[in-house]
Amino acid sequence: MEPIMLYDTTLRDGTQGENISFSAKEKIQIAERLDDFGIHYIEGGWPGSNPRDMEFFELAQKTEFKNSRITAFGSTRKPGIDPADDPNLQALIKSNTPAVTIFGKTWDLHVEQVMNNTLEENLAMIQDSVSFLKQHGREVIYDAEHFFDGYKNNREYAIETLSTAVDAGAEFLVLCDTNGGTLTFELVSIIDDVRRTLGEKYNTQPDDLPFKFGIHTHNDSGLAVANSIEAVQSGAVMVQGTVNGYGERCGNADLTSIIPILYYKMNRKCVPEGNMSKLKSLSRFVSETANMIPLNSRPFVGKSAFAHKGGIHVSAIMKVSRAYEHMAPEMVGNKRRVLVSDLSGKSNIEYKAKELGIELGNNGYDSRKIVSEIKRMEQEGYQFDMADASFKILLEKFTDQYQPLFELKSFRVHIEKDADRPCTAHATIKISVGGKEEITAAEGDGPVSALDNALRKALDKFYPELEAMRLIDFKVRVIDGREGTAARVRVTIESRDQDNIWSTVGVSEDIIEASWHALAESVQYKLALGKDEPHVSNGVKTP
């Protein structure tokens, strides 16, 4: 069975996603992680379109890649000019990559109504561009843009664009579902017809064609992963996609789902043995570099991918994990998580206590009593299923094992507003560390920001490791709006350092007090990391 080639376009197609941008140096850092993971082709960008991508290719020439072929992306020549005079093709040559990917128009609608071109000239553009790149010693991957829409509109012409690229020397024909609207059964039928038709043209069996097929799908119908997998079943040996599915509109095919499906479910060993356990850390690294909050529900690598909440489920996985898990989470570098909520049974509590290294039974609190107390607190508005750090502190308090690393004496928050300026926040805080009191003040963009800054400032001389901690998400939820401005609110804070992500929760009728409880527990948890093992960070261990 022919090996699958993984083609990553996070650095080009992925950056077309909303709010995603990488500097040239960040792109090199991501490329190095992709190379370490074992991706075969890394598309670095479009060197003819912007200086940043050109800088990336200059840096890439000075970087050693062990597993990956760096690939430059561009288009066929412009109408009516020689390829040697086309600035885009010249930029591709100048990028000095071993492989080049160019896209050409397949859909006659685009050729005639968007480009105002002729079908004949479009074929000449494909022929000339591929030939020009081959003359310069490049491996050529031809992306047939909008192929499936083009096939549906004009089958014969769409297939002719493919054979033109092959006759000019393209090693790969990549069929692109650029609009993301092709259904899976349509895609399979079209690929089968294309392979059969080209087999007849080149007088060979579909499996012996003088080129290889690839697939490039978008997720506008929610089918990008399914379509990619079915394309492999239909003979594609190159799969293009992005880490975390980043990309324009609804995104590209998500390699963090495709890779484990290929590797474990289909026995298509597409990365070096032993590297699959790096998948989650790769996903986290890319999301952190992109400054995007990781999607908890993302299959395989998401924080909730192997999370269990119901007491019956937890009781079962404690006996036989595969009873409620389709694979072991460690196979992709993830971790099983047991959530605690008002749906929990004593199995949840006992599992979590063991995971957190906390002995139950102290101070009269066994698992049943703790379940009862958790349910009471959740009735008041607390939610511990996504706040493992707060739950750990709560268990320590129940069992007399809590050792706070600082104590609050008092704080004061002052908000000032006049007609010409936005609100400003000032916080003064008094804390005690080991009996030594510290008073300090700080400003912030809001009351919680000011409190955070003041607390960090007060603790800095005692705990310099706080410098590495930062807040990455802050959520406020009104628990019961019928009480109006006197309603209870729940504040959830997510924090991270260079190694961990953790969440805490606070509840009060006063939003500042609720925020303080969540903030203080987040800092307490951070300071305790490394001082007591094992520790938990919502199942997340980041690079």
Domains of the chain: 5-271 (3.20.20.70)
Among the listed ranges 99-108, 118-127, 239-248, 509-518, which one has the minimum average pLDDT value? 509-518
Positions of E strands within 132-244: 139-145, 172-177, 212-217, 238-241
- pLDDT: is 224 or 446 the higher one? 224
pLDDT digits (tens, 9 = 90+) for 379-415: 888 888 778 899 889 888 888 888 999 999 999 999 9
Cis status of the peptide bond prior to 404, with omega within 30 of 0? no
pLDDT digits (tens, 9 = 90+) for 342-365: 556 677 777 778 877 787 766 656
Instruction: Check: CB of residue 308 under 8 Å from CB of residue 318.
Output: no
pLDDT digits (tens, 9 = 90+) for 36-48: 999 999 999 999 7
- Which pLDDT value is given to residue 531? 60
Please state, in angstroms and as integers, the Cα–Cα distance from residue 503 to each residue in 388, 500, 527, following that order. Answer: 6, 10, 14
391 vs 83: CA distance, rounded Å: 64
Q: Quickly list DSSP for 293-338.
A: ---TT-TTTSTTTTEE-SHHHHHHHTT-GGGS-SS-GGGGT---EE
273 vs 38: CA distance, rounded Å: 10
> Which pairing describes strands 436-444 and 489-496: parallel, antiparallel, or unpaired?
unpaired
Per-residue DSSP letter, 285? H
